[in-house]
């Protein structure tokens, strides 16, 4: 708490400013007093209480990986697969430069202001998804895709299941996977 001499309402007084903490953040109080009286000018609730107590914020982390795959349903004939998937059914594979967006929803922590610590989220995404998929054949080398036709839609669902239980804070809101600039799948756990 500090005071300084000032003139308030045309009478000499001191002005003080103090902060008070509770579990939601800091309150600021302003007071004016002289030897005969004390006047509380204002008390402001903490920033967190004023602006974010019930606010849901969506935070997105973007990652990239490159991978090869083949769209092929082994339960169907080669003719069916060729007609259904065209060039994407090439037995010699084809690849994409994928962009992954992981969105976490939550209320900002009053102490940090974060919904989720992005460095921790980045580490989880790298360990659980990118390190397992980057420069890999999605049909043959990724354990959590065994038996899955690696369409962009199925990849988004599989990535959700890799992440939903290990998000460091908040809750997983969506997975958006860009196979190309124009081909995007989004999954929200529904």
Active site residues: 88, 135, 179
Nearest to 102 by CA among 53, 179, 163, 154: 163
- Measured over the CA atoms of residue 187, residue 156, residue 172 and residue 165, the dihedral's sign is positive
Indicate the DSSP class of residue 150: -
Question: And the tokens for 1?
Answer: 């708490």
Q: Concatenated DSSP letters for 59-96?
A: EEEEEEEEEEE----TTS-HHHHHHHHGGGG-TT-EEE
Alpha carbon of 4 to those of 16, 17, 53, 83, 84: distances in Å? 7, 10, 34, 83, 79
φ, ψ of residue 119 in degrees (nearest 5): -70, -35
Say if CB 132 and CB 80 are below 8 A apart. no
> What is the Cα–Cα distance from 67 to 92, expressed in whole angstroms?
13
């Amino acid at each position: 708490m500090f005071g300084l001499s000032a003139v308030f309402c045309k009478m000499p007084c001191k002005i003080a400013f103090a902060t008070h903490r509770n579990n939601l953040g800091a309150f600021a109080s302003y007071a004016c007093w002289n030897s005969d009286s004390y006047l509380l000018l204002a008390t402001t609730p903490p920033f967190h209480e004023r602006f974010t107590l019930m606010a849901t914020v969506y935070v997105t982390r973007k990652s990239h990986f490159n991978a090869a795959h083949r769209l092929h349903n082994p339960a169907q004939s080669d003719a069916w697969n060729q007609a259904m998937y065209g060039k994407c059914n090439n037995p010699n594979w084809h690849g994409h430069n994928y962009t992954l967006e992981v969105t976490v929803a939550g209320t900002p922590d009053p102490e940090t202001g974060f919904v989720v610590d992005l460095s921790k989220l980045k580490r989880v995404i790298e360990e659980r998804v990118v390190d397992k998929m980057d420069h890999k054949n999605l049909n043959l080398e990724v354990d959590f895709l065994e038996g899955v036709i690696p369409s962009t839609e199925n990849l988004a669902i599989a990535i959700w299941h890799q992440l939903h239980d290990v998000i460091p804070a908040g809750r997983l809101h969506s997975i958006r996977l860009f196979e190309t600039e124009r081909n995007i799948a989004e999954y929200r756990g529904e």
